[in-house]
């Protein structure tokens, strides 16, 4: 829609029709000067004051429009820079939460697969029952697994004991200072999914676990010696 309002000193009837249409949508102040020159050419009989009034009015409108556009751009940039630090904080928080959840899930997995505080277990069918109960025969037969018959807190204490190198070369493994009751479960030769059958063997050995996090927690059973 045209935004140009004729100046009171310049009757609407004196506007050349083509010029009025172009004045309503021109993009720049320089274009205003060019249109003013054209207007003077097309209306040679109008007094100079009227011509100047028209040009002044046209330039003012253009300048106001340009300032308004710049102001909107500046406001948009200001809003972006005001929100940017908050966006960074949100992303950092999400990263920390994801990392925390990852570590927590590893601790929970370790506890689920390797911790059984019941020290009275001696049944030959222990491994068949426990491997199924702890979901290690769900979709496949896990070949080997070790259950430590101590509370998680006692196994966590190992993370503060002797530091040793893990089997994979990582430096975050720890060896217990005392022997613990453990049960080793080995998949029997020829046993295949879905019928997973295990050999149960109970021993008393030093355990080696990999530890991570703050507070430091066991996340992987590495070996027993």
Question: Catalytic amino acids?
Answer: 114, 220
Q: Name, in order, each residue with C-beta under 8 angstroms of 176's C-beta and a sequence gap of 6 or more.
A: 158, 161, 206, 207, 208
In 10 A of CB 182, how many CB atoms? 21
| Cis bond before residue 194 (omega within 30° of 0) | yes
**Matching residue, tokens 């069918």:** 125
């Amino acid at each position: 829609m045209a935004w140009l309002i004729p100046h009171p000193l310049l009757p609407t009837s004196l506007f050349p029709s083509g010029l009025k249409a172009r004045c309503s949508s021109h993009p720049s102040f320089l274009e205003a000067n060019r249109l003013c020159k054209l207007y003077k050419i097309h209306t040679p009989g109008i007094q100079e004051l009227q011509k100047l009034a028209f040009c002044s009015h046209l330039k003012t409108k253009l300048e106001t429009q340009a300032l308004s556009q710049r102001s909107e751009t500046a406001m948009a940039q200001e809003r972006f820079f005001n929100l940017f630090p908050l966006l960074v904080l949100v992303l950092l928080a999400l990263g920390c939460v994801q990392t925390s959840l990852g570590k927590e899930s590893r601790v929970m997995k370790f506890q689920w697969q390797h911790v059984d505080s019941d020290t009275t277990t001696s049944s030959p069918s222990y491994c068949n029952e426990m491997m199924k109960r702890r979901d290690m025969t769900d979709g496949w037969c896990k070949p080997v697994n070790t259950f430590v018959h101590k509370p998680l807190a006692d196994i966590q204490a190992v993370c503060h004991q002797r530091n040793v190198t893990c089997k994979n070369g990582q430096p975050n493994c720890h060896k217990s200072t005392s022997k613990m009751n453990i049960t080793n479960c080995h998949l029997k030769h020829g046993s295949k999914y879905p019928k997973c059958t295990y050999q149960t063997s109970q021993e008393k050995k030093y355990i080696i676990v990999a530890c991570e996090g703050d507070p430091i927690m066991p996340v992987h059973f590495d070996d027993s010696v």
